[in-house]
Structure 1
């Protein structure tokens, strides 16, 4: 199994697949917002940024999958999927156990050098309430679906990371 993931991680196709999957999630998020009129909350925007970072990781490694770019992209992928996992866990908790004393921020908080909500408000501005349930599929709310997606991204990233070291270590003897 590790041989497969090690070999596959050195192909453009694998990293392009990662980028395409993240891009599709972004397109779906924008459709939910602009096509269906769902109002993204602060956590939704932060989760969206985690997906954008996974998209960036896929594109970075696509440039040169057999170079150090692969490891840089893998670290970005791991970090982004872990952060996304934490965000969606918190978002799920807020929806399952809503409380007027426990909520997310009212506005997104970006660093002064990266004011995404000002530069591209149609994508990065939050309008909704994190505890409000706006959409579900198969009786599962959107944050739970995202939690499942981020868990999958994270687990695959862990396997790919392990394959970089276990397969290399096994073949270096």
Structure 2
């Protein structure tokens, strides 16, 4: 069962990476290419209706997956995994409240948790790639360099968490922090 769940989550992570890349490319090139501009309008239209529940769904899946791996599969979380969980778990009730009361402020301030989560997961992923722990953050019984998951030659648990944090951050910036361009059609 764990292998099936891992395959689903790893494949979803790869698909998310493609979507993140395409969305960022569109946002960067929207003024240069008409096709990118049209896609940008479609993204804007989609996020106008789903920007409150979509980040909540992403974080909920990530949190439940994390709990599944530690409680059902028996994977022991390392010290950095716990810090990443501290950044991710509060996002569920935080974004849930924002979704229920229909306020963007919760999505806007979710960046206070997602940016540290991004930094932690990048550091953790780097430790897994190099297998070299230059400091003593992690203990020897559950090392941070342990790869419980390694799919598609690059997907690990920190990479999955990084994808979640990046997705919520990009949605938050796109919806709440960017200035409206005057050439947008509403």
Which TM bucket (shorter chain)?
Answer: 0.5 to 0.7
TM-score of the aligned structures, taking structure 1 as reference length: 0.68
- Aligned residue among 19, 35, 42 for 2:79: 42
Indicate the SS of the match to 2:69: helix
CA contact (8 A) 1:64 1:70 kept: no
- Partner residue, 1:137: 151
CA contact (8 A) 2:55 2:167 kept: no
Q: Counterparts of 1:1-173 in structure 2 under 5 Å?
A: 1=41, 4=45, 7-8=48-49, 14-65=51-102, 69-71=103-105, 73-106=106-139, 128-140=142-154, 141-162=156-177, 165-166=179-180
What is the distance in 2 between the residues matched to 1:162 and 1:3?
13
Moved segments of 4+, more than 3 Å: none
TM-score of the aligned structures, taking structure 2 as reference length: 0.63
- Partner residue, 1:111: none
Indicate the SS of the match to 2:91: helix
Uncovered stretches (5+) of structure 2, i.e. residues with no partner: 1-40
